[in-house]
């Protein structure tokens, strides 16, 4: 067990470059199972979930070579599902992404229910319905059993715009016979990256970035190379950290093309940035004042499917709001456990009313004070890091392995910006 010791109240200044997008890396690693030729992935984030996914595909027979710290060459000549590590599958949510490519490539897979963050119920029904639409047979008796004698293209309507279910459906469909149309598909940046990656291997995915994907199945995929884009969740986490400490920073290669809605929401919190090329510049003269609705009503920030404000950033936004003047309501209808971390902010001095499991009202600004904390999940853990950076005094954050699942060398990047943060053994 490790922990962070953070001395707050230090304005962050300098420049950093974000890691590759975790939520793109995970499906890309799974997609490498679809071809028996070598694939080179660049800008792979060195984080726990990605390393666990690497171990999973290696247990299936994929050979992974490190060309440098963030570049891997993956070769999946022969695959055998009997070596799959069930305990490891239960640790990460992304293990469900093995179902689509393995059913397509080898005709089946036995897979336990996946793990992941405890933020409320996370249903798998959409994955099952999508693969069944393509002709897969799926049974469940404490373990999922996926089986197919050959997938066929189909027209399907996903019952929810699930990110990972869309990814599973796309990976299964690219080598299915015939044409597949996926209605109500999710369209997040990492799904777009997956589709472009597969097209680089010879797939034929059309209407990328829309909510209706058209896929013409091809007999096989070849090898290729791909560079994973920046993690926009990490980018905005650092934007928040700089804002709450009243600092100045440049975030290089920030992927600004995907940040328009996020920028609009953060302007409601009184946080603004400038853009130079693909860099973001945050200065210390932030208004940090809530922008009310036109009639003076308390505004609401509500998560929704892309391109709306993403659920993974709600914890960061709540922490920023504790340092902004005014009142604002946050509403995350997707996960019933996402808001529970706010009691830790209240313990640090924040003024927050938890209305129900999905909504909270924040009134700021309030001086936060150092506290002993524990990270409940990836995003809430990073939100607590922001709170500790803004707080007066020293904070201890335990269970930081949760944060490590989604952020690469976060304390080193924060120290580059001048933060007083240490990683210590318990």
Q: Three-state SS across 374-399?
A: ECCCHHHHHHHHHHHHHCECEEEEEC
pLDDT, position 89:
87
What DSSP element (H or E) covers 194?
A: helix 189-200
- E strand intervals along 175-325: 179-183, 204-206, 212-216, 224-227, 248-251, 274-276, 279-282, 300-302
What pLDDT sits at residue 120? 40
Q: Burial level of 318, CB count in 10 A (0-12/13-18/19+)?
A: buried
Task: For residues 293 and 261, give the distance between their C-alpha atoms in angstroms, rounded to a whole number.
Answer: 17
**Residue 165: which of 93, 234, 218 has the closest Cα?**
93
d(CA 309, CA 346): 24
Mean pLDDT of the chain: 94
Cβ atoms 325, 365 nearer than 8 A:
yes
Q: Residue 100 and residue 170: Cα distance in Å, rounded? A: 8
**For 153-199, how does the pLDDT look when each residue is reduced to its tens digit (9 = 90+)?**
999 999 999 999 999 999 999 999 999 999 999 999 999 999 999 99
Q: Please choose, from the candidates 386, 335, 370, 373, the residue with its C-alpha nearest in 3D space to the C-alpha of residue 356.
A: 335
| pLDDT one-digit tens code per residue, 40-89 | 999 999 999 999 999 999 999 999 999 998 999 999 999 988 888 888 88
> Given this model, what pLDDT does residue 87 score?
87
CB under 8 Å to 267, separation ≥6 — which residues? 291
Task: Give residue 5's Cα distance to chain centre.
Answer: 25
- Catalytic (active-site) positions: 117
The pair of three-digit structure tokens given for residue 7, joined into one six-digit string: 């001395």
392 pairs with which residues across the strands? 369
Strands across the sheet with 351-356, in order?
300-302, 326-331, 359-364, 351-356
**Neighbour tally for 324: CB within 10 Å:** 25
Predicted pLDDT at 114: 81
* 133: nearest Cα among 150, 156, 110, 107: 156
Domains of the chain, first to last: 2-19+230-425 (3.65.10.10), 22-227 (3.65.10.10)
Scanning 227-310, the segments in alpha helix (DSSP H) are 232-244, 260-268
What pLDDT is attached to residue 124?
86
Structure confidence at residue 122 (pLDDT) = 53
| Half-sphere exposure at residue 275, Cβ-oriented, CA atoms within 13 angstroms | 11
Q: Enter the tokens of residue 276.
A: 């130079």
Q: Which regions in the chain score pLDDT beneath 70?
A: 115-123
Closest CA to 251 of 233, 267, 265: 233
Question: Which distant-in-sequence residues (6+ apart) come within 8 Å of 166 by Cβ?
Answer: 130, 158, 182, 185, 186, 191, 213
Please state, in angstroms and rounded to a whole number, the distance separating the CA atoms of residues 349 and 327.
16
Q: Could you write out the DSSP letters of every residue in 47-109?
A: -HHHHHHHHHHHHTT-EEEEEETTEEEEE-SS--GGG--HHHHTT-GGGGGGHHHHHHHHSEE
């Amino acid at each position: 067990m490790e922990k962070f010791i953070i001395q707050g109240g230090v304005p962050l200044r300098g420049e950093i470059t974000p890691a590759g997008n975790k939520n793109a890396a995970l499906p890309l690693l799974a997609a490498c199972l679809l071809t028996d030729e070598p694939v080179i992935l660049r800008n792979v984030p060195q984080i726990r979930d990605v390393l666990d996914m690497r171990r999973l595909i290696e247990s299936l027979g994929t050979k992974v070579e490190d060309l440098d710290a963030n570049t891997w060459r993956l070769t999946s000549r022969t695959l055998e599902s009997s070596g799959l590590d069930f305990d490891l599958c239960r640790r990460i949510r992304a293990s469900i992404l093995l179902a689509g490519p393995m059913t397509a490539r080898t005709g089946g897979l036995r897979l336990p229910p996946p793990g992941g963050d405890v933020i409320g119920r996370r249903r798998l029904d959409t994955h099952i319905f999508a693969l069944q639409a393509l002709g897969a047979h799926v049974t469940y008796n404490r373990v999922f059993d996926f089986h197919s004698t050959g997938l066929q293209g189909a027209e399907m309507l996903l019952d929810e715009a699930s990110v990972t279910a869309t990814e599973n459906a796309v990976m299964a469909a690219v080598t299915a016979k015939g044409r597949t149309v996926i209605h109500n598909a999710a369209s997040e940046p990492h799904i777009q990256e997956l589709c472009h990656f597969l097209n680089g291997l010879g797939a034929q995915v059309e209407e990328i970035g829309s909510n209706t994907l058209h896929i013409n199945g091809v007999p096989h995929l070849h090898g290729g190379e791909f560079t994973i884009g920046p993690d926009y969740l990490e980018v905005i986490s650092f934007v928040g950290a700089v804002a709450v400490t009243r600092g100045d920073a440049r975030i290089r290669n920030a992927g600004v093309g995907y940040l328009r809605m996020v920028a609009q929401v953060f302007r409601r919190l009184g946080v603004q940035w400038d853009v130079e090329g693909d860099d973001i510049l945050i200065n210390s003269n932030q208004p940090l004042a809530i922008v009310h609705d036109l009639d003076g009503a308390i505004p609401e920030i509500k998560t929704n499917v892309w391109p709306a404000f993403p659920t993974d950033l709600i914890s960061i936004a709540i922490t920023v709001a504790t340092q902004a003047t005014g009142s604002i309501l946050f509403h995350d209808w997707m996960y019933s456990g996402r808001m529970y971390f706010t009691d830790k902010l209240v313990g640090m001095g924040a003024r927050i009313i938890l209305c129900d499991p999905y909504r909270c009202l924040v009134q700021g600004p309030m001086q936060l004070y150092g506290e002993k904390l524990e990270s409940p999940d990836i995003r809430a853990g990073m939100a607590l890091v922001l709170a500790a950076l803004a707080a007066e005094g020293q904070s201890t954050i335990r269970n930081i392995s949760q944060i490590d699942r989604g952020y690469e060398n976060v304390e080193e990047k924060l120290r580059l910006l001048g933060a007083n943060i240490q990683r210590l053994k318990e």
